[in-house]
Structure 1
């Protein structure tokens, strides 16, 4: 029953807002400077829309539905569902008609609705409390772990090894002979005494 109630409420809201749209846009007075000087669209724009509207209108009737899907039939049907759906739709039309007929402004001024149920404020708070926090954590990880340890750490290690190896490359033939002899002594010691 709750889902059916939501479906009825949706039928009411759909009819309400569709008639509100028609009354405000097509039968209402202009509400802004730009709307007062608005012009109809040229035939190059409205022509294709009319051509597309004709099959869209007839597509909703389902003339060809039996060709594509089998239509199941119930032995007995309940008439209360279409009656309630039609009543919800008519109630939405009547309420919208009496609220928005010949109006220049909104008939009911609710602060929460005027402020769009404070959805923008909620998103602003959500972004500040989650996205900004995650961005600062990500910036810390990027700056100190990835860049600090990964990039600068690897380059510093390479630079350090290069500095140590630079001490061995002195450019003096006597030093190279000494290191060569030291290496030979090390190899002999390692092979004989190990």
Structure 2
């Protein structure tokens, strides 16, 4: 499930067709780790230290991925890092006592609105002639009204606006964290602010304002074959938490029963602050007013991994070169050459150039051969 430090594959997995990305990031590949931990939750519950490590990894992944998302310009890459962050929430829940069900509940609700957002981004990319840079979009609200409203609903669910499915599942995780692990709860509250911030940034830059390029200016609404699935997923992004079925006793039992706790207050405050901050910073902008290379370059983790790989490659290369120079070459090249030279030198001793000596040696050899045959 792409948790630190093994997360680097997931953002690159969105390079394929958008429907494939929607499946991968919503309900298939990335769900495997969360589901596996949920199935062995009884084992995790019996190992307190392991549970703390799992929760901490999830919390740190959620926070760092959210920070990375704040500086991404590719619309699908922003959503990919949001997937990383939400997976961090789910993994965090698996390490909290009593939080496993809440994590699975969030996995269920997340599948709907994340599939909606990825398919919505695909519609935007298609309409903008395969442009993925949000700073080369703008003004799509008028050009693509259906995509605009469905993407807005998906964004609302992702940032946990009250009443949407994402609100109930995220609150269930944070409430469980508040009861049993204050450190990861703090990380979760921070993510509750960052998620509205970077999604407001994406939404405002891509859909509002004026078109920044000809491709955005000539964008048009996609056909029914593309917007009908968006409409269906938009409905489910709102109501999926209310039709949990078997999940009713597996994390979704609190749906429809809201209590104004400390977690809820801070979470809602983070939501409002994130949306207002994103709107204030990015509304009407033609370029990003914030430049944080550390976040844009993903905390330089890719460079770190490449550096480690290069060190290993250099060490391996030096080792193989030494083996070739001092073991393989002497044994397979120099030793046979020396043997051939020595054999030639010995044989050359018999090549004296004297006909009488050759006749004598021939006769001697014939006698020895006859003796061996007869006796």
Any stretches of 5+ residues in structure 2 without a counterpart? 1-181, 352-357, 369-375
Q: Give the distance between the partners of 2:290 and 2:221, measured in 1 at CA.
A: 33
Q: Give the distance between the partners of 1:92 and 1:23, measured in 2 at CA.
A: 13
Q: Give the distance between the partners of 1:52 and 1:124, measured in 2 at CA.
A: 34
Matched, 1:147 2:328: no
Which whole-Å deviations, capped at 9, do the CAs of 1:9-67 have from their partners, x for residues lacking one? 21011112222222211123223344333344444444444445544554344622446
Q: CA 1:65–1:163 in structure 2 vs 1: closer, same or farther (change >3 Å)?
A: same
Structure 1 counterpart SS, 2:244: coil
Task: Give the alignment partner of residue 3 of structure 1, picking from 177, 184, 197.
Answer: 184
Any stretches of 5+ residues in structure 1 without a counterpart? 182-194
Structure 2 counterpart SS, 1:84: helix
Q: Give the distance between the partners of 2:231 and 2:278, measured in 1 at CA.
A: 26
Matched, 1:92 2:274: yes
1:157 CA drift (Å) = 1.3
Q: Give the distance between the partners of 2:274 and 2:312, measured in 1 at CA.
A: 45
Q: Give the distance between the partners of 1:17 and 1:165, measured in 2 at CA.
A: 79
1:72 CA drift (Å) = 8.2
Contact 1:20–1:100 (Cα < 8 Å) also in 2: yes
Aligned to 1:37: 218
Q: Give the distance between the partners of 1:151 and 1:17, measured in 2 at CA.
A: 57
Aligned to 2:200: 19
> Any residues of structure 2 matched to 1:1-194 within 5 Å, and which?
1-61=182-242, 63-66=244-247, 69=250, 79-106=261-288, 109-111=289-291, 113=292, 115-117=293-295, 119=297, 134-143=312-321, 145-153=322-330, 154-167=332-345, 174=361
Structure 1 length as normaliser, TM-score? 0.60
Q: Give the distance between the partners of 2:234 and 2:327, measured in 1 at CA.
A: 61
Q: CA 1:81–1:121 in structure 2 vs 1: closer, same or farther (change >3 Å)?
A: closer
1:117 CA drift (Å) = 4.8
1:88 CA drift (Å) = 1.4
Structure 2 counterpart SS, 1:14: helix
Structure 2 length as normaliser, TM-score? 0.35
Aligned to 1:189: none
Contact 1:23–1:100 (Cα < 8 Å) also in 2: yes
Structure 1 counterpart SS, 2:263: helix
Count of matched residue pairs: 170
Give the structure with higher Rg (CA). 1
Which whole-Å deviations, capped at 9, do the CAs of 1:88-133 have from their partners, x for residues lacking one? 1122122223333333343xx344x2x4557489579858976655
Structure 1 counterpart SS, 2:192: helix
Contact 1:29–1:104 (Cα < 8 Å) also in 2: no
